[in-house]
Amino acid sequence: MKKIFFFLSIIAILGISSCKKKFLDLFPYDQVAQDKAIIDEAGMQAAVNGLYAQLRNTSLYGRSLPLYGDIIADNVFISTQNSNRYIAEFNYTYTNTNADMLGTWGEAYKAILRANNIINASVAPSANANQLKGEALTMRAIMYFNLINWFAKQYVVDPNGEGVPLVLSYDPFVKPGRAKVSEVYAQIDKDLGDALGLLTASKNSSYVIKYVVRALQSRVALFKGDWNAAKTAALDVVNNGGYTLATAANLFNYWKNPAPVSNKLETIFEITNDAVNNNGTNALAYFYDQAGYGDAISSDDLYNQYSATDARKGLFITGTRASQTVRIVNKYQNTSNAADKDDVKVIRYAEVLLTLAEAYYHLGDEVNATLYLNMLAKQRDPSFAGYTSTGAQLLNDIILERRKELAFEGMRYLDLQRLQLDVVRVNINNNYVGVTPLTLTLNSFRRIFPIPQNERDANPVISQNSGY
């Protein structure tokens, strides 16, 4: 199976679709058996550095993962003036040969296999070795969380349904089938739980630490509908993590700053892009920034959700694209900064507060749900008196704040998935020429991605998602 995934990663990088046997026969140079790869802490450190770099791949957090969640949802339009990328995703016409999805599948498993080599390495325990192992466990969990949410049905819909293959160790002869969704989530929970006791509580936001794990545990529990676990993990971050929200006056500068933070302002974990280690013009920022490709523009439907006094409205620019007046996304501002590039946020403190609000709501505690919802909403808009809603409307308000706060960070579609809501793309007053209003209903087979056909050709044990 390792050779298969190596083949897929080569395919994703080079776009090669033939000579499959030739690649399958190659020994995977960067995914070797653990006894040949890592023998000491220096080897572990080098491998962990490579794992962080792998998450920056354009098929992962370098571009595709943050883009999917908004392009396939209702937050983003692809301009008619575009670079011809992610068009199938935007139009819901993707198939089992889609190159973007093949890339995400292959590069995610490449990250998992790198993590496996670190996790399974025979290195004497020490504080540093434990930290490195904890980082690898966490990143493996992050990759499986993405795979299970994009290529399988939601846990809350069918926990016994087909998930994705679980590959936890080196074995070139095993071709695993798809584990159950619940089994994949159990492994995610185990990895995060194992990591928790190994990690320090203090490093800058470009590294995995204890509270990265707690924040991720709150997200995973939310997606499982485990409200008590979501509340407990989120409260730990809030009460003990030391994180703060940016003020309304400082929000623009927070997003303008491309560097990791050490003061625990907003960012819990991010993927670093600096002057040397970055994806250049293929980075996420270039897809939004009009100084780059600028393909992706905000929908008016999203833009209109922000009040005039909401600081988040300052993260949009009204400009021109393809001779139309459009809402330009300005969360990523450093494409022309030669000294540093935009980091990609994986999880932020604001999300933890919203998770806490939603968990309290489902636990029947609307007072605390409102408290944590307003903790964010009033910080973003000092003129806002706060939400006072109850019942179903309170939940709607929490979900609306998630949409507004996490826009262009890849979470919107995943939220619609776990909440089992239709995707309704609205082109208000037909403002954007070339954008057709579309609805992706819950019963559409395209609500989950296809298993890449190249993977199934190499491993027929893996079944395809219905409809593809």
Q: Could you read off the pLDDT of 251-285 as tens digits, one per residue?
A: 999 999 888 999 999 999 999 988 788 898 899 99
Are 313 and 198 contacting, i.e. CB atoms less than 8 angstroms apart?
no
What integer pLDDT is reported at residue 357 of this predicted model? Answer: 99
Structure tokens at 340: 């540093």
What integer pLDDT is reported at residue 35 of this predicted model? Answer: 46
pLDDT along the chain (468 residues), means of 10: 42 37 32 64 96 97 98 95 95 97 98 97 95 98 99 98 96 92 99 98 94 99 99 99 98 92 96 86 91 91 97 96 91 77 94 99 99 99 98 99 99 98 88 83 97 96 97
What integer pLDDT is reported at residue 1 of this predicted model? Answer: 44
Per DSSP bridges, beta strands 423-425 and 344-348 are unpaired
What integer pLDDT is reported at residue 186 of this predicted model? Answer: 99
H helix intervals, 120-206 = 127-151, 181-196
> Is 95 inside any structural domain?
yes
Per DSSP bridges, beta strands 316-321 and 344-348 are unpaired
Q: At what angle do helices 210-224 and 227-240 cross, to 10 degrees?
A: 150
Q: Where are the beta strands (DSSP E) in 383-428?
A: 423-425
Q: Could you read off the pLDDT of 298-353 as tens digits, one per residue?
A: 999 999 999 999 999 999 999 998 888 999 999 998 877 766 688 999 999 999 99
Which among 379, 121, 410, 167 has a CA at the least distance from the CA of 288?
410
What integer pLDDT is reported at residue 450 of this predicted model? Answer: 99
What domain range includes position 314? Answer: 41-458
> Is 203 inside any structural domain?
yes
> Is 30 inside any structural domain?
no
Chain CA centroid to CA 95, Å: 21
Which among 263, 413, 253, 267 has a CA at the least distance from the CA of 350?
267
Q: How many structural domains does the chain have?
A: 1
> Is 81 inside any structural domain?
yes
Q: What is the DSSP code string of 191-205?
A: HHHHHHTT--S---T
Which among 58, 13, 73, 8 has a CA at the least distance from the CA of 399?
73
Structure tokens at 317: 């620019």
> Is 1 inside any structural domain?
no
What integer pLDDT is reported at residue 26 of this predicted model? Answer: 30
Q: What is the CATH number of the domain that holds 435?
A: 1.25.40.390
Give the count of beta carbons closer than 10 Å to the beta carbon of residue 201: 11
Give the count of beta carbons closer than 10 Å to the beta carbon of residue 412: 25
| 21 secondary structure, DSSP code | H
d(Cα 124, Cα 132) in Å, to the nearest integer? Answer: 12
Structure tokens at 135: 């980082």
pTM (2 d.p.): 0.92
Q: For residue 259, is it left (φ>0), alpha (ψ between -120 and 50) or beta? A: beta
Structure tokens at 373: 């919802």
Q: What is the DSSP code string of 49-105?
A: HHHHHHHTSTTTTTTHHHHHHHHTTTSEEE-SS--S-SHHHHHT---TT-HHHHHHH
> Is 31 inside any structural domain?
no
> Is 59 inside any structural domain?
yes
d(Cα 405, Cα 390) in Å, to the nearest integer? Answer: 21
d(Cα 43, Cα 121) in Å, to the nearest integer? Answer: 10
Q: What is the DSSP code string of 194-255?
A: HHHTT--S---TTS--HHHHHHHHHHHHHHHT-HHHHHHHHHHHHHHS--BPPPGGGHHHHH
